[in-house]
Amino acid sequence: MPSLAERSEDVPELALFFVRQHARRIGAVVETISEESMKRLRKYRWPGDVDELQSLLERAVTSAREPVLEIDPALLDEGLPLGHYRLMEILGEGGMGEVWRARHQLLARPCAVKLIRPELLGETNQEAAIKRFCLEARTIARLSSPNTVRLYDFGVSETGSCYFVMELLDGMDLASLVQRFGPLPPERVVALLRQACRSLGEAHTAGLLHRDIKPHNLFLCRLGLDFDVVKVLDFGLVKSLREGEANLTAAGSLIGTPAYMPPERAVGAAVDERSDLYALGCVAYWMLTGQTVFAGEPMAMMIHHARTAPKPPSEVLGRPVPERLEQIVLACLEKEPENRPPSAIDLWNQLGEVTLATPWTPERAESWWLEHLPALSRPEPGDDSSGELTLTSIG
């Protein structure tokens, strides 16, 4: 049978059938569809075919209050089709591809879609990059920590683009947070670091090393009634720690972000879970001081990570930092992995022992969001996606 887009003359009859059927089923007052709305329905391409038409009309009937149904034009904002999704708005571009705000064609659930298009890749690395992208999706699917971004779906488009679909987050990454609002109070730093440790602890237990922990990949969001929820993003550079499992990064390549790169990676030595903890220590330093541990050109930063002792955060900040917290951060930044905390869970426990004059409570977190990000603090009923700073990582 031809698609609905090829037989637009059938749309009015089908539309009225679905509207009246659902109205009878739920006892709604709807009797017909307005003339303008019917014109919109006929002009629409219906990439989801008849199922999409039925789903859209049932949603409209459920919320209708008048006998003549009006179809919100926003419901027919097509976007770019990709599998069962529509790409509505690009959120960013990076070396690995693009991230889009999207929604499921039938469920209308908001989500973020990360994809790689073939034209963004060179012929020599296309296959390896797609394999790495697929590994990222499989990796995230294995993780269930509430502090790890949730994976909804995964696929390959008709054009060969590889994509996965994840939750759309309301908030901002830690790079943007510090750039916009300045260094964070120590108690908030502790609260955020402990959440990141929970995500990394699960990943490490599963035998997975992140390898690109940095402020851009730690996202701070509102989740339901909870504020200041950390989500670890972008496992695109993930490496298996288990013997016999392949590392899909090209041999001899140096990956990661120089400002957050552990010494062992800079010099080509073996890496393990403590490499992620070094990078997390760099993130802690950024949150406390508003500065990276070392500055300069990428190669210079890598040399500093390998050779130069960092200044204590309190010295950079010009005011005291809780002594135990400073000790922990500097321990994470030790050149030799054996001198760092042995695991993410051990680091989580150590951070829990830091004595704080004023702990960062859920009430303080909510107050901060209400004051600084009010648009994200009071969502409209039923709205779980819109926000002025909805972002996600792009690799």
Tens-place pLDDT, residues 253-300: 456 789 999 999 888 888 899 999 999 999 999 999 999 999 999 999
Half-sphere exposure of 124 (CA within 13 A, CB side): 1
pLDDT higher than 60, residue 244: no
Q: Is residue 207 classed exposed, middle or buried when 0-12, 13-18 and 19+ CB atoms within 10 A define those classes?
A: middle
Question: Does the pLDDT value for residue 50 go beyond 80?
Answer: yes
What CATH number is attached to the domain comprising 11?
1.10.8.60
Q: Structurally, how many domains does the chain consist of?
A: 3
Segment 311-322 mean pLDDT: 96
Share of the chain above pLDDT 70, in %: 82
* CATH number for position 246: 1.10.510.10
pTM for this entry:
0.75
pLDDT reading at 249 higher than 50: no
> Which pLDDT does position 117 carry in this prediction?
61
Q: What is the pLDDT of residues 326-381, one digit of tens each?
A: 999 999 999 999 999 999 999 999 999 999 999 999 999 999 999 999 988 765 44
Q: Give domain status of residue 388, yes or no.
A: no
Which pLDDT score, from 0 to 100, does residue 77 have?
65
Among the candidates 76, 94, 118, a domain finishes at: 76
178/302 same-domain check? yes
Whether 63 maps to a domain, the answer reads yes
**Which carries the bigger pLDDT value, residue 140 or residue 237?**
140
Does residue 385 lie in a domain region?
no
Residues contacting 292, CB < 8 A, separation 6+: 259, 260, 282, 285, 286, 301
Q: Is residue 391 part of a domain?
A: no
- Identify whether 392 is part of a domain: no
Report yes or no: 56 and 107 within 8 Å, Cβ to Cβ: no
Tell me which residue of 129, 104, 103, 105 sits closest to 115, measured CA to CA: 129
- Considering the domain architecture, whether residues 141 and 125 belong to the same structural domain is answered as yes
User: What SS3 class is residue 114?
Assistant: strand
Nearest partner of 48 among 98, 106, 118, 131, judged by Cα: 106
Whether residues 187 and 145 fall in one domain: no
Q: Are residues 160 and 272 in the same domain?
A: no
246 vs 38 pLDDT, higher one: 38
Tell me the average pLDDT across 232-250.
Answer: 55
Least confident of 97-101, 184-188, 312-316: 97-101
Of 166, 191, 216, the position where a domain reaches its end is 166
Is 233 in the same domain as 338? Answer: yes
Choose the most confident range, by mean pLDDT, from 144-158, 235-249, 252-266, 275-289: 275-289
Q: Are 137 and 161 contacting, i.e. CB atoms less than 8 angstroms apart? A: no
Residues 339 and 212 occupy one common structural domain:
yes
In a domain, 395, yes or no: no
Kindly state the average pLDDT of the residues 116-121.
Answer: 56
**Checking DSSP bridges between strand 68-69 and strand 32-33, what pairing results, if any?**
parallel
Q: So what's the pLDDT on residue 297?
A: 94
Residue 191 CB contacts under 8 Å (≥ 6 apart), including other chains: 228, 360, 365
Q: Is 98 a member of any domain?
A: yes
Q: Same structural domain for residues 162 and 143?
A: yes
Report the run of H or E that residue 304 belongs to, with start and end: helix 298-307
Assess whether 18 and 40 both reside in one domain: yes
CATH code, 136: 3.30.200.20
Kindly state the average pLDDT of the residues 120-131: 60
Distance separating alpha carbons of residues 174 and 218, to the nearest angstrom: 6
Are residues 86 and 37 located together in one domain of the fold? no
- On whether both 254 and 161 belong to a single domain, the answer is no
List active site positions: 212
Do residues 71 and 100 both lie within one domain? Answer: no
Cα separation, 41 vs 283, in Å, equals 50
Secondary structure of residue 93 in the 3-state scheme: strand
The 10 Å CB-count burial string (b at 16+, else e) for 170-197 is bbbbbbbbbeeeebbbbbbbbbbbbbbb
- Domain range for residue 143? 80-166
Domain boundary among 166, 195, 226: 166
Over 138-199, what HEC string results? Answer: HHHHHCCCCCECCEEEEEECCCCCEEEEECCEEEEEHHHHHHHHCCCCHHHHHHHHHHHHHH
- Are residues 226 and 334 both part of a single domain? yes
In a domain, 386, yes or no: no
Dist. CA 166–CA 163, nearest whole Å:
10
